[in-house]
Structure 1
Amino acid sequence: MSAIVGYARTSTTEQVAGFEAQLETLKAQGCTKVFQEQVSSVGDRLQLRACLDYLREGDTLVVTKLDRLARNVAHLGELVATLTAKGVALRILDPAIDTSTATGKLLLHIMGSIAEFERAMMLERQREGIAKAKAEGRYKGRTPTAMRQAQSIRQLASEGLTKAAIAQRLGVSERSVYRALKQGWSN
């Protein structure tokens, strides 16, 4: 018996509404099982691996959007090859693409290429904008979180808290705590 399996992902835990919308959509599509995770596309995607292991011949994997599944065209190709070898169809809801058809397979590769191109162009425009703003003296970048809390870091360290405890209490990395103490940042 074949199954309709869903996969939902957001890059951060702050994307609650988008994540919940994906889950609702996948359930409405008849997914009997949904693998879900909130991790960057470049992070270790354990639930995606578990999903791929779970799928069997005749199953259909459903995702709401292409960027929820694949990092880039090469990654998309790897995933499609894995699914094809297992006899699993891929259905992407937006835009509507179903790899159980030849046209769906073609559209998937075209859309993946366009998405990767679009992302590369956006990053290039962003780099150009930052370079222009720097040249005009308008770009400062973001102030590092730990730098703003340097005094609190030093205070907690003087009270005898461990670097790990300081990092946890202030919501910064341990590495940032070490840098703040070593460099003597002032805020």
Structure 2
Amino acid sequence: MFVRAYLRASTSAQDANRARQTLNAFATQHHQKIASFYAENASGASPDRAELRRLLTDAHVGDVLLVESIDRLSRLPTDDWKRLRTEIDAKGLRVVALDLPTSHVAMQEALEDDFTARMLDAINAMMLDMMAAIARKDYEQRRERQAQGIEKAKTEGRYRGRPMDPELHQRVSELLNAGLSIRKVAQHAQCSTSTVQRVKRHEPLTPSGPQQEQDLSM
């Protein structure tokens, strides 16, 4: 059995590898070993995730796609989730999530009873769709609450925007001072170009810094 673990965190300030030890312990409990890890910092609401794409490209029939929870795999809207599910099914992958007990049977060798195996597959597929829908709903509710909070803060004159992570701010400043373009800085610091632009607006380059290369990201 070839187990492929997918780890995801939403922002560059978070540790995508945080759950690696937990997934390793889970695999060991089921007498399996994780053969490959795929970790990235990307939104679960986006279908375009490089490491998830790589996992799907590498996968073979019968492989296990192991995640800490379904929301690490998807916070996608319905149509995008259906497309991802179609890709997963076409690859013959079995999804196992720590927060989805019905999926844990996939960590075992194939069941001799074909009827039982098919019933478990059907139950797991239904539960997987349900958990993906819950993950998307949670994402939408959090975005809505965030927007309401920002609007209220703006009305009351308290809104100052999202605070910048100090370490990321320092890293971006150093890269800008080194003469890199906004796009290059974003790539090296693993953040968005808008974050780089925020730092650039509030932290001008030092006079002794080298001349910047032409910025093509604007």
TM-score (norm 2): 0.62
- Distance, in Å, in 1 between the alignment partners of 2:22 and 2:97 is 12
- Give the Å deviation of 1:175: 7.7
In structure 2, runs of 5+ residues without a counterpart are 107-119, 164-197
Structure 1 contact 10–38 (Cα < 8 Å) conserved = yes
- Distance, in Å, in 2 between the alignment partners of 1:120 and 1:10 is 17
Q: 1:65 aligns with which of 63, 69, 93?
A: 69
- Give the Å deviation of 1:44: 5.0
Relative distance call for 1:132 and 1:83 in structure 2 (3 A) is: same
- Give the Å deviation of 1:105: 0.8
Aligned residue for 1:94, secondary structure, equals coil
2:18 aligned with 1:24: no
Structure 1 contact 7–62 (Cα < 8 Å) conserved = yes
Q: 1:38 aligns with which of 34, 37, 40?
A: 40
- Distance, in Å, in 1 between the alignment partners of 2:127 and 2:154 is 40
- Give the Å deviation of 1:45: 2.7
Q: 1:161 aligns with which of 210, 214, 217?
A: 210
- Give the Å deviation of 1:109: 0.9
Tell me which residue corresponds to 2:137. Answer: 117
Letter in 1 for 2:134: I
Letter in 2 for 1:136: E
Count of paired positions: 161
CA-to-partner distance for each residue in 1:102-158, whole Å, 9 max, x for gaps? 1111111111111111111111111111111111112132573223312xx1x43xx
- Distance, in Å, in 2 between the alignment partners of 1:43 and 1:146 is 30
Identity of aligned residues (%): 31
Structure 1 contact 62–91 (Cα < 8 Å) conserved = yes
2:94 aligned with 1:92: no
Q: 2:58 aligns with which of 45, 51, 54?
A: 54
- Give the Å deviation of 1:51: 1.2
- Distance, in Å, in 2 between the alignment partners of 1:62 and 1:46 is 17
Relative distance call for 1:135 and 1:53 in structure 2 (3 A) is: same
TM-score (norm 1): 0.71
- Distance, in Å, in 2 between the alignment partners of 1:61 and 1:47 is 13
In structure 1, runs of 5+ residues without a counterpart are 166-173, 179-187
Letter in 2 for 1:109: D
- Distance, in Å, in 2 between the alignment partners of 1:124 and 1:14 is 22
- Distance, in Å, in 1 between the alignment partners of 2:156 and 2:12 is 36
- Distance, in Å, in 2 between the alignment partners of 1:128 and 1:59 is 43
